[in-house]
Amino acid sequence: MSFPWANQYQPTNPFMRWMDEKLPLPRFVYNAVGAGYPVPRNLNYWWNFGVLAGFCLMIQIVTGIILAMHYAPNALVAFDSTEHIMRDVNWGWMMRYAHANGASAFFVVVYIHIFRGFLFSSYKAPREMIWLLGVVIFLLMMATAFMGYVLPWGQMSFWGAKVITGLFGAIPLVGEPLQIWLLGGFAPDNAALNRFFSLHFLLPFVILGVVILHIWALHIPGSSNPTGVEVKQESDTVPFHPYYTAKDGFGLAAFLVIYTAFVFFMPNALGHPDNYIPANPLSTPAHIVPEWYFWPFYAILRAFTFDFFFVPAKLLGVLAMFAAILVWFFLPWLDNSPVRSSRYRPLMRKFWWFGFVPAMAALFYLGGAPAEEPYVMFSQLASAYYFAHFLIILPIVSMIEKTKPLPNSITEAVLAKNGAAAAE
Amino acid sequence: MVRLIGILVGIFFSGWLLVTLAVGFFTWASEPKVETAEHVFHKHPKALHLASDGPFGHFDLQQVQRGYKVYKEVCSACHSLRHVAFRDLEQLGYTEAQVKAEAATWMVPGIDPVTGEDTMRPGLPTDYFPKPYPNDVAARAANNNAIPPDLSLMAKARHDGAAYVYSLLTGYQEQPAALLEEFPEAKTPDGLHYNPYFANLNLAMAPPLSDGQVDFDDGSPNDLDALGHDVAAFLVWTAEPTLTKRNATGWPVVLFLVFLTVLAYLAYRNVWRNKEH
């Protein structure tokens, strides 16, 4: 679907006309990300991160395929083949650092992209399907990243794999057989490493498929925007090209400056030193921690330290950790407000910025901290807020909040903002 | 309905966490704090400045060569360097002929070309540095039940890698009297050595370096502190031989991208110049 005022693709070049009859790929591009796709004119920088996430996926696929040409997924040589890439493969060090930091960059932009969704209620009708697909992408990313981290077969690879697959062991009755089935053995070994490599190669393409669905679903209603008011007229929109290709180009270049600075100047800043020690099943690291992008959920997992009657604490933690993400699936229905943008939801806006953001920042820190007091108590407080925020505060505030009046249209909001700025 | 179920689930998770927190806080506040010697007396690594630090980092080849000499004469008796080959020494400024000669001063495992029996032969540039022990059992037997770790990646495999190496090598001392007073049971056992930079304070490795232990042809300082610096610099190189190239590649890339960002910003402003947004 598009808006009735969208530019029409009219090739003048005879070759392009011929092409349009045989395979209308240029028409498709024109209508998807070209001048034929009208987009709200008021998108701010929060809206840059979807494109950046797509670009990160491309970085990961390209660098990953090259790394796979030199890597050997066998427990005996995996660590050494990684070092072979770092030392002997031409530009291998760059590919590996680009891939490892690319994973971090992917999560950074996706976390910002998701937070944009929270702040502007991008999950609300008519965009529920885009949101649901987005959460699926996030889950797939987590699985892919987890398995990728196992491949260098360092100490954190091994023990991370052991701890994370051990979570399935917490499930009553079937837990232990399930864990053994997932690993292909009693502990991570060759079977696990091989299947993780296989799946780590497969899943990015599954992600790519879901990304295509995500963008397809996006093109049905079109992008949301900072006012949360739907597009009503032609003056509310601009053609994607050149307006947003230019803005995304700027965002992409700025992103690449930061990303390459990490790759070339501090490539190990986000990694854990223990992963440069070869995996050793007989030596447990002092503190087993996953990669930084899992820390909030790891903190929630470890916050549960008491059994709830017959439910063991470990199982509770596992349930809570999965629930922390699964709750996002229900956001479109938990949030009952008729208004989307937090600009016009003064109370909810305060909860997002002064409740959710500090709690999330704390969880990010605490997930990487040792499982000792007082860290555990702070994890419990922050996790309690996390669940209360989505499951109690959001539904209740969305029903009782007195929202600010919405502008009649995007154009009116834009002109009012610029008029006010001009009058000052 | 979704909201009602959601609120109930939320009350369950948040409520149980708060109950846990309350009980945990009470326990934490009422129980006496138990300190351990490792917690109180463990020290963070000393500050170390090497030419390889930071985005302008590069190898001080003279220093890395000195570090190699210390490795060869001291460390290699117990520690392997299995990711490094003799051919890599060319990166330290040695010529091909020098590397060939240097490799030949090491004995590496080989096969007798006539009888096929295991034998030792002089190293070739394509060989990797030989292991000092045939296997872990032998390594343990010779080292008070501790395996001397491989050093190739040591500068990346510890927090503050190079500074840790330097601090550990130069940080051996008598066990402080205050420690023995406070934690009498933490007395360093026989055969171990007290070092506050090691995580559990007691280390199987005896102090490996001392003042003047290795002599340098050019008369560079060879007190303990200087030797510690040189070994740290050498291990930064073994852990990441591509460091200089990485930084040298990074600058053109990042500066080009900064320039591209400026251009992209101007293009963005130009495209949007007549469109209020």
Place of tokens 């395979």: A23
Q: Quick one: what percent of chain A has pLDDT higher than 90?
A: 90
Q: What ipTM was predicted for this assembly?
A: 0.94
- The answer to whether the CB atoms of A257 and B2 lie below 8 A apart is no
Interface of A with B in 278-337 (CB under 8 A): 286, 303-306, 308, 316, 320, 323, 327, 330, 333-334, 336
**Closest chain B CA to residue A83:** B83
DSSP, collapsed to helix, strand or coil, labels residue B193 as strand
Sorted by sequence, the CB contacts under 8 Å of residue A420 that are 6+ apart come out as none
A244 contacts A225 by C-beta, under 8 angstroms: no
Sorted by sequence, the CB contacts under 8 Å of residue A214 that are 6+ apart come out as A130, A133, A134, A137
- Which residues of A are catalytic, by number? 219, 223, 247-248, 291
Q: What is the pLDDT of residues A75-129, one digit of tens each?
A: 999 999 999 999 999 999 999 999 999 999 999 999 999 999 999 999 999 999 9
Of residues B9, B261, B277, nearest to A253 (C-beta) = B261
What is the CA angle B70-B73-B78, rounded to 5? 100
What is the CA angle A25-A29-A30, rounded to 5? 110
B234 contacts B153 by C-beta, under 8 angstroms: no
Model confidence at A1, pLDDT cuts 50, 70, 90, reads low
d(C-alpha B129, C-alpha B235), whole Å: 14
- The answer to whether the CB atoms of A253 and B257 lie below 8 A apart is yes
Q: At what angle do helices A155-168 and A190-219 cross, to 10 degrees?
A: 70
Which backbone phi and psi does B82 adopt, to 5 degrees?
Answer: -75, -15
pLDDT at A422: 54
Which backbone phi and psi does A404 adopt, to 5 degrees?
Answer: -80, 155
Question: Residue A25 class from Cβ within 10 Å (0-12 exposed, 13-18 middle, 19+ buried)?
Answer: exposed
pLDDT at B248: 96
Residue A420 has pLDDT above 80, yes or no: no
Q: What is the pLDDT of residues A347-377, one digit of tens each?
A: 999 999 999 999 999 999 999 998 888 899 9
Residue A176 has pLDDT above 80, yes or no: yes
B81 contacts A81 by C-beta, under 8 angstroms: no
Residues in chain A: 424
Q: Which residues of B220-233 are buried (b: 16+ CB within 10 A; e: fewer)?
A: bebebebbbbbbbb
pLDDT at A234: 93
Place of tokens 């129980």: B31
d(C-alpha A420, C-alpha B14), whole Å: 44
Closest CA to A394 of B2, B16, B13, B20: B2
Closest CA to B238 of B56, B92, B77: B92
SS3 content of chain A, % helix, strand, coil (to 5): 70, 0, 30
Q: In this structure, what token pair is assigned to residue A64?
A: 């990953």
Q: Is B137 on the interface with A (CB under 8 A)?
A: no
Q: Is A77 on the interface with B (CB under 8 A)?
A: no
**B80 chain-A contacts, CB cut-off 8 A:** none
Q: In this structure, what token pair is assigned to residue B108?
A: 């590496």
- The answer to whether the CB atoms of B23 and A247 lie below 8 A apart is no
Cα distance from A16 to chain B (closest Cα, Å)?
26
Q: What is the pLDDT of residues A236-292, one digit of tens each?
A: 999 999 999 999 999 999 999 999 999 999 999 999 999 999 999 999 998 899 999
Of residues B7, B149, B253, nearest to A264 (C-beta) = B253
Half-sphere exposure of A63 (CA within 13 A, CB side): 22
Which backbone phi and psi does B36 adopt, to 5 degrees?
Answer: -120, 160
Of residues A267, A388, A399, nearest to B10 (C-beta) = A388
Question: Residue A166 class from Cβ within 10 Å (0-12 exposed, 13-18 middle, 19+ buried)?
Answer: middle
Residue A424 has pLDDT above 70, yes or no: no
Q: Is B221 on the interface with A (CB under 8 A)?
A: no
- pLDDT under 70: residue ranges of chain B: none
pLDDT at B100: 97
Q: In this structure, what token pair is assigned to residue A29?
A: 């591009």
d(C-alpha B152, C-alpha B27), whole Å: 45
DSSP, collapsed to helix, strand or coil, labels residue B89 as helix
**B275 chain-A contacts, CB cut-off 8 A:** 41, 238, 243
**Average pLDDT taken over every residue of chain A:** 94
- The answer to whether the CB atoms of B19 and A306 lie below 8 A apart is yes
Four-point Cα dihedral B28, B33, B36, B39, nearest 10? 70
A313 contacts A305 by C-beta, under 8 angstroms: yes
Closest CA to B224 of B207, B248, B239: B207
**A265 chain-B contacts, CB cut-off 8 A:** 54-55, 247, 250, 254
Q: In this structure, what token pair is assigned to residue B128?
A: 């990797």
Q: Cβ–Cβ contacts within 10 Å for residue B115, how many? A: 8
**B25 chain-A contacts, CB cut-off 8 A:** 377
Beta-carbon pairs below 8 A across chains A and B? 174
pLDDT at A72: 96
Residue A419 has pLDDT above 80, yes or no: no
Q: Which residues of A319-328 are buried (b: 16+ CB within 10 A; e: fewer)?
A: bbbebbeebb
DSSP, collapsed to helix, strand or coil, labels residue A278 as strand
d(C-alpha A66, C-alpha A97), whole Å: 12
d(C-alpha B64, C-alpha B48), whole Å: 15
Interface of A with B in 25-44 (CB under 8 A): 41-43
Model confidence at A172, pLDDT cuts 50, 70, 90, reads confident
A138 contacts A325 by C-beta, under 8 angstroms: yes
Q: Is B33 on the interface with A (CB under 8 A)?
A: no
Closest CA to B55 of B241, B250, B259, B237: B250
| Bridge pairing between strands B193-194 and B202-203 | antiparallel
Q: What is the pLDDT of residues B194-236, one digit of tens each?
A: 999 998 899 999 999 999 999 998 989 999 999 999 999 999 9
Interface of B with A in 77-136 (CB under 8 A): 83, 88
pLDDT at B277: 80
